[in-house]
Structure 1
Amino acid sequence: EDGKNQEPGVVTTRNILESFTESQEVGGLIGNLKGVCGDLVTREMTMEKFIGIMDKYQEQPHLLDRHLEWMMNSLLDIVRDNGSPPPLVHLAFKFLYIITKVRGYKLFLRLFPHEVGDLQPVLDMLVDQNPKDSETWETRYMLLLWLSMICLIPFDLARFDGNISEGGHARMPTMDRILEIAKCYLVVSDKARDAAAVLVSKFIVRPDVRQKRMADFLDWTLSMLSKSSFQTMEGTVVMNGMLQALAQLFKHGKREDCLPYAATVLECLDNCKLSESNQMVLRKLGMKLVQRLGLTFVKPKVAKWRYQRGCRSLAANLQAQGSVVQNQMITVAANEADDEEEYDIPAEIENVVEQLLVGLKDKDTIVRWSAAKGIGRITGRLPKELADDVIGSLLDCFSLNKTCLCSKISFQETDNAWHGGCLALAELGRRGLLLPSRISDVVPVILKALTYDEKRGACSVGSNVRDAACYVCWAFARAYDPAELIPFINQISSALVIAAVFDRDVNCRRAASAAFQENVGRQGTFPHGIDILTAADYFAVGNRVNCYLTISVYVAGFPEYTQPMIDHLVNMKINHWDSVIRELSTKALHNLTPQAPEYMANMVLPRLLPLSVGTDLHTRHGAILACAEITHALCKLAEENNRSITYYFNEKSLEGLKQIHQEVCSNYQIYFLTVCTLIEKLSLSKMPFRGDPIIGGWQWLINDSLRSLPLVSSAARQRIKESAVSALAALCNEYYINEEGEADPALQDELVTQYVSELQNTEEMIRCGFSRALGALPRFLLKGRLQQILEGLKKVTLISPADVSFAESRRDALIAIAKVCQTVGVQGEGSQEEYVCKDNVTQIYATLLSGVTDYTTDSRGDVGGWVREAAMTSLMEVTLLLVQNEAELINANICKQIMCWLSQQSAEKIDKFRAHAGSVFLTLLHFDDPPVPHIPHREELEKIFPRSEKETLNWNAASEAFPRITQLLALPAYQYYVLLGLSVSVGGLTETTLRYSAQSLFDYMKKIQNDASAMESFCETLLKVFEDNLRNDRVSVPLLTMLDQMLANGCFDIFTTQDNHPFPVKLLTLCKEEIKRSKDIRKLRSSIGVFCGLIQFQGDMREKVLFQLFLLLCHPFPVIRKTTASQVYEMLITYSDVVDPAVMDEVMTILSDTNW
């Protein structure tokens, strides 16, 4: 998708692994723990490496299963070794925790050794731990998990107590020691609390512990709950531990053991009022405990009334080829009495179910999900009548407020209730607890949930509801026999297709696609299921633009889906809060029109026309665009079928389309883009409005849109300008041309004069708009006025003190000149008022070439780059236009200028502009239909830039571009310009550009060191570049830096043997001139390096150089004095013959010791 339509997270990259390939590496890391334990840095590096390896398996943890046992045993061997120091033991437990985190503690728990001999050592280790040590929590966590496994040993714990007394006191029994440890860690705030809850659930349910300690432990937990408050941090920590312990205990304990305490626990839980807490985790744990208590109250018997689907063969469904698979369910009739069971439902169940239903509306997803699972589990144990009451209460989560004043149905319940309700419905359906008799009540709710989108401020909520609704459809596909869903199959299939293609969020589109796939496979009754699934699979629906504009057309080709898709776009999407969705929807309607033209013309368009002049801004915007797109599509269809343009329109529709302009006119500023699109589409549709006053109104709207560009936000400005220009072109082409193909002279005069006069407006954006408008005018309006337009555009490209920062207007004027030239065409001997000809081609090229020299900068940076980029593009377009028509109009001088300027831009520092220049340079060089004439050194250029590398050469990469472009220094025609561009790059500040450009330049200099004529030519060109750009800081400052580097790298060593060689003498003169009266710190510092480098040349000039350095040592700026002293010191070390050896030490001392 392009930038504005890009969705975050659409593209995901992941590695699909096949096995645990790093097992040997992990074995080496574990085996080397003893060696790395003592060194902190090595230990941390080992830990990071291990975490990096294990994290790769977060999504495929089952690949570790075969290796878990040996990894655990290797690490526990370290733990069991009495010689292991405490840091090593902690490190081993850290490794164990990382493995547990990836694979999950439930599976890992079974692998722990549970020998009798491990009990006391583990208990002793736990006693030695400091619960408040934040560095060793992994140790405590893993020890508690290990203890929860050891405590399952089938021996009476009293056997481990013995009769030994310690210090005159009886030792605490093992049972109590374990319980105390568990209680201690249930009130801590780290991960050990979770493991302590697991320990409690395993330990308390032992027969001996249950008899002696279960009641006391429950009393303790309930008292702790009662005393704690979720208003404090300490209270939250304690309540978390108690709730986890109780939830785990009621989950793993036998029903008959837990039932006596269930009512008391429920009462205590009610008194805690967890629903009022803002702690999400506490509310979730409360919900888990409530459902476990509910399951304790009712007998664990599967309800015989539940729906059971028989055969679930995918092959059988697919072979049915859309026919209804025979009913194979095994269901007890609804009216059959269940004589075998007597349901005795406690009164507390009502309280439990009520709390779960309230939990479905919680503000946090994890709480709603827990409540939904609880509803499913408990309903499965209730009698049919009570279960039906639960389902009825559940459907109230989806209650609709139908008494609202607007025509739409609005949602009475919040999006949280809808989401929780969908999750619960899916759970009930998945478990067979939603009988077929209820499907008729549930399907309308699901259909509504699939399009749930409630406005909330500037955006909306509901993506989670739509996602959950897809889950319901997925669950129903697996739960029900095809015969049960046949009455609703068209509704469900259409709703899922609409969600898969038109939903705003990628996760919802993918969820709908998955649900559709499940239904196609399991039910086998979805119309055209396989065909649609092939086009709208999980990956295809990832791209939103592709969904709206391509997949939708294919799916709408099946008649069952055409009208529902169109209706959805009209009802739900053209009034969407997101403007991107509104615009995509209208384009989709354009594409869908050929599938149902009569429906669009007779039903959709009459509905949209009143909305396009309504009061809601979003609806009006979408409706205007939809009217425009549908009208254009209908007219194209009529034209293709050789029918009248108005075949699909009646008088009322045509008047309605006119009415939009009149109604919007009073408030059109907020609809610039929309109205211009409407004008463009109606003009392209060739609506019969020629001579109608509405044309004048449209023209005024376009003009005013262009005049109002300064008032528009910068983000929308470009789109509005382009839309207005497109509308103008369409309007002129359709309504301003007569039967002879000419324009009305009065209208032409008024339009062109008005537009040219606006080019000198004091507002930059107005200049931009009217420049582009002139570039979009058709040929019949340009005819006879070409010179006036070109002159007007030329004035816009000129830089004056008043408009120096108007870079955007200069850019648009250059673009417009190229467009005008392409529109009018070429005729060498033609009139300069009608064609590009020999009389005006020089003027056109002069204007375009002036743009290549625009280096304007302001607070936005190098804004002249926009002008240079546009100038290069326009030069290419005009040149190729001339080459293809009358190549003789291009003389050698013009072609040389173009190629030389492009070579300069190709050597400059900004990647984007360098890449554009390089692309244009190679396009002109390799164009052969016919070839561009007069290109200097064509053969050499084609060797440097082979045709095969035209597309592959990456000009953005300095490492690829500069080694090529520096080769042009050997070509006399290009040497000056390439060196000018290189000066800015080599002396620039960007590290990569500087490195590669400098290296390429130095490589070239080494190549010509022994070629005296080449060196003379290069140095002469270098001095010419310097001389031409004296006091031009954009070039001269980086040029000084480049000269410093060249002198330091010995690029001019061949001149050092000759006294007073002209090159260094002239260079010294230019440097002195450049820094005269300068206060530019960067320039002065660069010149110091050049002066120090010039000392290597022989003759009288040495004294002049030293004199300049002495002046700089006395400079008013301290930083210049200090830099000069430092560099002179280094220079004297390198060139010791400069100073008399007798005074050398004194000179060096002065330079180094003076506080400059």
Structure 2
Amino acid sequence: MMRARLMPADLYGDLGRLLAATLHFERRVLSRKLGGNVRDASCYVCWALFQAAALPAPLVRGLVADLVLLGCFDREVNLRRAASAAVQEAVGRQGLDSAEGVALVQTLDYFSVGNLPACFLEIAPAMVTLGAVPRDQLARHLLTRVLASWDPEVRRLGAQALVRALPGAEDRRHALAALTETAAAAADVDVWHGAALGQAALLAATADVPADLVATLAASAHVVPRHNKGARVDVLEALLALAAELLPHLPNRRLPAAFGDAFVEALGLADARLAPALRSLAAALDPADVDRAAWLDQLTSGRPGYAHALGEVLAADDSDAGAVLVAAVAGAADMAVRVAAMDALARVLARAADPAVAAGPTVHAALTGLADFTIDRVRGDIGSQLRLAAAAAVRGLPRSVVAALDADTVDDLCARLLRVAADKIDRLRTDAAAALDWIVPGLFPAVPAASLATIYAAHFGRLTGLLASGLSERQTAALWLGLASSMSAASSESVVRATRDAVGAYLPTLDPPALTALVDDTIGRMVVDGRIMLKTDSELLELVAFFFDDGSLPNPALDPALYVRVYNKVTKLYSAGTKTASARLLTACVAVYAGLVMAGHSKVAEMALKKLVGLLGSPISPVRQRAADALFLLVADVDSDGALAVVGDIEAADWQGPTYAGSAAAVGPAVLACFGY
């Protein structure tokens, strides 16, 4: 009706009041929140209304203010963008096209509102400055709606935005009192959590808090609403944040019992969401109240929360505590403990008066963490968490520490960072490249954001140039290993070609011991602790096949044990591939077995050839075809009278059809006879 200009003008006022309510409509039904469709439709109605006719200025200003609040604080990006479009229509058609109106549209544009933290912390304050929404209306919306959101992340952002919305100390004290009343009366844990986070944020930004309000806040831990187990972490997070900001205002700087109990409970949990609150509260504690020895004992018992807290209370010259943290990084059973200990060492170093003297434990732990490639059968590459923490610790080393590192330590750090810089995980590649640039500027320039195929192709193409750029053999070996084992993430023929080019340029530069060490490192990461990871082990086996294809492996007469180790490991994978019918794993086995036959190690070659002959009868069509192709090439190189006939038999057989079993039974013994077996 409005787009057709059929709505009577005397109804615009009623419509405006209706829209003011529906733009923020939300209703909870059991565990679900409803209302997104209503808010979306309201934005569309506003957009059509602004097109219909010239509206009264108060109505336009009121609707624009509500739309701005929706565009800044709604959880859903599509609704924020719908509100942005309606505001743009109002500016263009309702006489708001002044300098402030243009700035409003540019600030609240389609792309800007896509970033939720920026909406809360940057765009919302700008809206107040531009006069698009009154400050008191924005603060009231935060207090009554945003801090009561069902989404914990929205509540966290809302608490930060509330401080920016209230620059005056008196306004903050009033808001603090209002939130205290809200928390005391809350029957919903979401409302209580938002109020508690708001209280903590306002306390941190308010210098003078009335004593009676401090006493009320100190008793607030006893009035937490009933909640289920899933909400317990949110409750503990709010209690810790509130306790950290409340502690400086307490007369004796002693935590009330309920807050202390929450602190002890949180220290024993392995939830990363609690880490910031634990650090804040630990930093606010009186050092005399901290039993460091007991905390270190708890850490060694597998409780990561204590590591987060220790990072704020340990002295940089406490060598015994540093040794405990380093040991936790290297050998704790729980990966969460290892990551937390790595973060704690980095934070201890950041607070050191003389970082160059205290850097040893952090650097040692970072070297350990960067080499952690632990694979969990259920969770996958859990070692990536520790590699990420270690790369961040290296990037956080003070410049004075970096300048004082000896050449061997720099070489070790660069080698391990180069390996991580070729990781499959985007954030790991980015952080490791930044850490490399911090240690040796310009060593490993970042590749611009692009597809994985482009990134890996660029890295492989750069490898040959790095060989002549002063990198040590250990560093280039680490980079090569990372690139090759990460290759399958791209699934691109261009990456495969680049890999082969890198093999041809790189492997001939290694002497036999270095090449042996590279192969041993590769096969050593297969079938770890008797567990087979099909995808990872297939990638590593394909890498070993590249070594054979290039012909760069040491002569079997120089290192016969290497070929035995390769055969034993690939045979374990052969058994796994047969049981799981993994075409990729068995195809990689074919390539390695063929390489072992060509290498000429007498006993290993015989066993590998028999495995290849057995694969002619594989029920997996691509596997038996690949085995037939490999045997065709091997037999063609044999100088014997019957070899030519066997080659013809292999070529004539239909390895894709139903007669493959008969062909395998006929061709197999003939192939073995050609080799004298």
Shorter chain as normaliser: what TM range?
Answer: 0.7 to 0.9
Q: CA deviation at 1:523?
A: 5.8
Could you tell me which of 653, 658, 663 is aligned with 2:213?
653
Q: 1:1034 to 1:1019 in 2, by over 3 A?
A: farther
The equivalent of 1:720 in structure 2 is: 274
**Cα offsets for 1:657-699 (capped at 9, x unmatched):** 2232232398697354455346446645774214154356534
The equivalent of 1:698 in structure 2 is: 259
Q: 1:723 to 1:997 in 2, by over 3 A?
A: farther
Q: Could you tell me whether the CA contact under 8 Å between 2:70 and 2:79 is conserved in 1?
A: yes
Could you tell me which of 885, 894, 899 is aligned with 2:414?
899
State the AA in 1 paired with 2:567: I
Matched, 1:623 2:195: yes
Q: CA deviation at 1:622?
A: 1.9
Q: CA deviation at 1:533?
A: 3.6
Q: Could you tell me whether the CA contact under 8 Å between 1:702 and 1:728 is conserved in 2?
A: no
Report the Cα distance in structure 1 between the residues aligned to 2:549 and 2:173, rounded to whole angstroms. Answer: 78
Q: Could you tell me whether the CA contact under 8 Å between 1:520 and 1:526 is conserved in 2?
A: yes
State the AA in 1 paired with 2:160: K
**Cα offsets for 1:1083-1119 (capped at 9, x unmatched):** 8645421233325xxxxx6x66764556657879965
Q: 1:1041 to 1:761 in 2, by over 3 A?
A: same
State the AA in 2 paired with 1:623: A
Q: CA deviation at 1:1071?
A: 0.9
Matched, 1:851 2:426: no
Matched, 1:563 2:136: yes
Q: 1:903 to 1:496 in 2, by over 3 A?
A: closer
Report the Cα distance in structure 2 between the residues aligned to 1:512 and 1:693, rounded to whole angstroms. Answer: 48
Question: Which aligned pairs between 1:137-536 and structure 2 lie closer than 5 A?
Answer: 373=1, 426=2, 430-431=5-6, 433-435=8-10, 443-469=16-42, 485=56, 491-492=62-63, 494-506=65-77, 508-509=79-80, 512=83, 530=101, 533-534=104-105
State the AA in 2 paired with 1:612: A
The equivalent of 2:179 in structure 1 is: 608
State the AA in 1 paired with 2:297: S
Matched, 1:870 2:430: no
Greater RCO structure (CA 8 Å; 6+ sep): 2
The equivalent of 1:832 in structure 2 is: none
Report the Cα distance in structure 1 between the residues aligned to 2:573 and 2:296, rounded to whole angstroms. Answer: 43
Report the Cα distance in structure 2 between the residues aligned to 1:554 and 1:681, rounded to whole angstroms. Answer: 28
Report the Cα distance in structure 2 between the residues aligned to 1:444 and 1:907, rounded to whole angstroms. Answer: 58
TM-score (norm 1): 0.47
CA RMSD of aligned residues (A): 4.4
Q: 1:908 to 1:1089 in 2, by over 3 A?
A: farther
Could you tell me which of 1014, 1019, 1024 is aligned with 2:512?
1019
Report the Cα distance in structure 1 between the residues aligned to 2:105 and 2:217, rounded to whole angstroms. Answer: 39
Q: Could you tell me whether the CA contact under 8 Å between 1:1129 and 1:1148 is conserved in 2?
A: yes
Q: 1:868 to 1:579 in 2, by over 3 A?
A: closer
Q: Could you tell me whether the CA contact under 8 Å between 2:39 and 2:79 is conserved in 1?
A: yes
Q: CA deviation at 1:852?
A: 3.1
Could you tell me which of 268, 279, 285 is aligned with 1:707?
268
**Cα offsets for 1:54-85 (capped at 9, x unmatched):** xxxxxxxxxxxxxxxxxxxxxxxxxxxxxxxx
Report the Cα distance in structure 1 between the residues aligned to 2:36 and 2:589, rounded to whole angstroms. Answer: 62
Q: Could you tell me whether the CA contact under 8 Å between 2:40 and 2:82 is conserved in 1?
A: yes
State the AA in 2 paired with 1:848: A
Report the Cα distance in structure 1 between the residues aligned to 2:17 and 2:133, rounded to whole angstroms. Answer: 19
Q: Could you tell me whether the CA contact under 8 Å between 1:851 and 1:871 is conserved in 2?
A: yes
Q: 1:446 to 1:1146 in 2, by over 3 A?
A: closer
Structure of larger gyration radius: 1
Could you tell me which of 399, 402, 414 is aligned with 1:883?
402
**Cα offsets for 1:754-795 (capped at 9, x unmatched):** 221111225xxx2x2222222233xxx5266x2232122123
The equivalent of 1:1144 in structure 2 is: 643
Unaligned runs of 5+ in 1: 1-372, 374-425, 636-644, 710-716, 737-742, 829-834, 927-941, 1009-1013, 1053-1061, 1096-1100
Q: Could you tell me whether the CA contact under 8 Å between 1:566 and 1:592 is conserved in 2?
A: yes
Q: 1:919 to 1:544 in 2, by over 3 A?
A: closer
Matched, 1:836 2:358: yes
Report the Cα distance in structure 1 between the residues aligned to 2:18 and 2:610, rounded to whole angstroms. Answer: 89
Report the Cα distance in structure 2 between the residues aligned to 1:994 and 1:537, rounded to whole angstroms. Answer: 45
The equivalent of 2:380 in structure 1 is: 861
Q: CA deviation at 1:552?
A: 2.5
Matched, 1:997 2:499: yes
Report the Cα distance in structure 1 between the residues aligned to 2:225 and 2:30, rounded to whole angstroms. Answer: 28
State the AA in 2 paired with 1:753: A
Q: 1:972 to 1:1127 in 2, by over 3 A?
A: farther
Q: 1:869 to 1:693 in 2, by over 3 A?
A: closer
Q: CA deviation at 1:593?
A: 0.7
Matched, 1:923 2:438: yes
TM-score (norm 2): 0.76
Q: Could you tell me whether the CA contact under 8 Å between 1:1109 and 1:1124 is conserved in 2?
A: no
**Cα offsets for 1:182-213 (capped at 9, x unmatched):** xxxxxxxxxxxxxxxxxxxxxxxxxxxxxxxx
State the AA in 2 paired with 1:813: A
Identity of aligned residues (%): 21
Counterpart secondary structure, 2:143: helix
Q: 1:954 to 1:822 in 2, by over 3 A?
A: farther
Matched, 1:579 2:119: no
Query: What number of residue pairs does the alignment pair up?
Result: 619
Report the Cα distance in structure 1 between the residues aligned to 2:591 and 2:566, rounded to whole angstroms. Answer: 11
Unaligned runs of 5+ in 2: 529-536, 575-585, 654-662, 669-677
Matched, 1:1132 2:647: no
Q: Which moved more, 1:687-696 or 1:581-590?
A: 687-696
Q: Could you tell me whether the CA contact under 8 Å between 2:50 and 2:94 is conserved in 1?
A: yes
Report the Cα distance in structure 2 between the residues aligned to 1:823 and 1:489, rounded to whole angstroms. Answer: 53
Report the Cα distance in structure 1 between the residues aligned to 2:126 and 2:646, rounded to whole angstroms. Answer: 87
Q: CA deviation at 1:589?
A: 1.6
Q: 1:566 to 1:1064 in 2, by over 3 A?
A: same
Matched, 1:1093 2:664: no
State the AA in 2 paired with 1:616: D
Q: Could you tell me whether the CA contact under 8 Å between 2:349 and 2:358 is conserved in 1?
A: yes
Report the Cα distance in structure 2 between the residues aligned to 1:1038 and 1:616, rounded to whole angstroms. Answer: 51
Q: CA deviation at 1:871?
A: 2.9
Q: 1:1086 to 1:548 in 2, by over 3 A?
A: same
Report the Cα distance in structure 2 between the residues aligned to 1:473 and 1:1031, rounded to whole angstroms. Answer: 65
Q: Could you tell me whether the CA contact under 8 Å between 1:810 and 1:867 is conserved in 2?
A: yes
Q: CA deviation at 1:469?
A: 4.6
Counterpart secondary structure, 1:455: strand
Q: 1:982 to 1:1110 in 2, by over 3 A?
A: same
Report the Cα distance in structure 1 between the residues aligned to 2:649 and 2:97, rounded to whole angstroms. Answer: 94
Counterpart secondary structure, 1:612: helix
Q: Could you tell me whether the CA contact under 8 Å between 1:908 and 1:914 is conserved in 2?
A: yes
The equivalent of 1:379 in structure 2 is: none
Report the Cα distance in structure 2 between the residues aligned to 1:1039 and 1:456, rounded to whole angstroms. Answer: 51
Report the Cα distance in structure 2 between the residues aligned to 1:503 and 1:1039, rounded to whole angstroms. Answer: 47
**Cα offsets for 1:294-326 (capped at 9, x unmatched):** xxxxxxxxxxxxxxxxxxxxxxxxxxxxxxxxx
The equivalent of 1:664 in structure 2 is: 224
Q: Which moved more, 1:847-856 or 1:662-671?
A: 662-671
Q: CA deviation at 1:615?
A: 1.2
**Cα offsets for 1:1008-1055 (capped at 9, x unmatched):** 6xxxxx5xx533421343467776636998777556445545658xxx
Report the Cα distance in structure 2 between the residues aligned to 1:507 and 1:1066, rounded to whole angstroms. Answer: 66
Q: 1:575 to 1:1003 in 2, by over 3 A?
A: same
Could you tell me which of 751, 771, 788 is aligned with 2:307?
771
Q: CA deviation at 1:481?
A: 6.8
Q: Could you tell me whether the CA contact under 8 Å between 1:869 and 1:916 is conserved in 2?
A: yes
**Cα offsets for 1:966-1022 (capped at 9, x unmatched):** 4455689732453366357547771445442222121446xx6xxxxx5xx533421
Q: Could you tell me whether the CA contact under 8 Å between 1:911 and 1:955 is conserved in 2?
A: no
The equivalent of 1:71 in structure 2 is: none
